[in-house]
Amino acid sequence: MTMPISTKKTDGGRIKGAAAVPSVVEIRVQTQLPNNKLQSYKFYGSFTTAPSNFQTLANALFTSIGSAWSTNLAALMVPATIYQSVFVRDMTNVFNAVFQGTGTAIPGTSASIAMPMGTAAVMTVNVAQRGKGAKGRIFLGGFATNADAAGGLITAAAQTSINAYGTAIFNAITAQSLTPCLPQPARAQYTGVTGTIHPARLATKVNVLNYVLRDLIWDAQRRRAQAG
């Protein structure tokens, strides 16, 4: 069998298909944007003993993350940006069920007009590991112009609020006896672009240190700018 080879456009080590990562819970947060498109971003938590009831976990996280969103982000979001749902899934097996938390949706409360739909603040997921690919990113959209300092920059006050949201999410995960983490799916042995042979890697995870907004520059996700 020929060993996969990475190019500038392809990752030779990537294994196609859904990825299983033992003892990790995927936590997907869903909001609706003013153009009715849905925005999702994910956090993860690892466990030593699996949660006894994933529906209870989903409900608890919906409540705690919703509280964090309402306290820290709602005032920066237009009313048409709505915190809608939290979904959890045990990633140990790709066929495990997804559980949706129940609760009341929360709209933004800003009186300012909406930023362009593709505009996003990008949180960095800092982990207890160094090297290429040893960070994650979380894109947050749906902001109002009271979060905008002009010139492509986010206000310092909005940065403070977004960082407080990241801290609250970290605490919400740990409150459920989970350790915030970043999953690393299994990888095949492959030859890198420089000719180096990289050995196969089993699925694993690395602990998260924090979720932070490191700079004040707006980013963009064009697929969210189109009508839903």
Assess whether pLDDT exceeds 70 at residue 13.
no
Q: Give the CA angle between residues 77, 142, 127 to the nearest 5°.
A: 100
Report the candidate in 103, 25, 21, 27 with the shortest Cα–Cα distance to residue 59: 103
Answer yes or no: is 10 within a domain: no
Assess whether pLDDT exceeds 70 at residue 65.
yes
Report in angstroms the alpha-carbon separations of 29 from 70, 155, 170.
Answer: 14, 24, 14
Provide the pLDDT for residue 15.
67
Q: What pLDDT, in 10s, does the model give residues 138-191?
A: 999 999 999 999 899 999 999 999 999 999 999 999 999 999 999 987 777 667
Answer yes or no: is 18 within a domain: no
Alpha-carbon span 60 to 80, nearest angstrom:
24
Assess whether pLDDT exceeds 60 at residue 226.
no
Alpha-carbon span 66 to 72, nearest angstrom:
10
Secondary structure (3-state) at 80: coil
Provide the pLDDT for residue 225.
47
* Residue 31 bridge partners (DSSP): 39, 83
**58: domain range?**
24-223
pTM: 0.89
Answer yes or no: is 185 within a domain: yes
Q: What pLDDT, in 10s, does the model give residues 39-54?
A: 999 999 999 999 999 9
Answer yes or no: is 9 within a domain: no
Alpha-carbon span 59 to 56, nearest angstrom:
5
Residues of the chain with pLDDT > 90, as a percent, come to 72
Answer yes or no: is 228 within a domain: no
Answer yes or no: is 165 within a domain: yes
Domains contained in the chain, number: 1
Answer yes or no: is 12 within a domain: no
Residue 130 banded pLDDT, cuts 50, 70, 90: low
Alpha-carbon span 88 to 56, nearest angstrom:
10
Provide the pLDDT for residue 79.
97
Assess whether pLDDT exceeds 80 at residue 134.
no
Answer yes or no: is 6 within a domain: no
Residues of the chain with pLDDT > 70, as a percent, come to 91
Assess whether pLDDT exceeds 60 at residue 83.
yes
* Residue 40 bridge partners (DSSP): 30
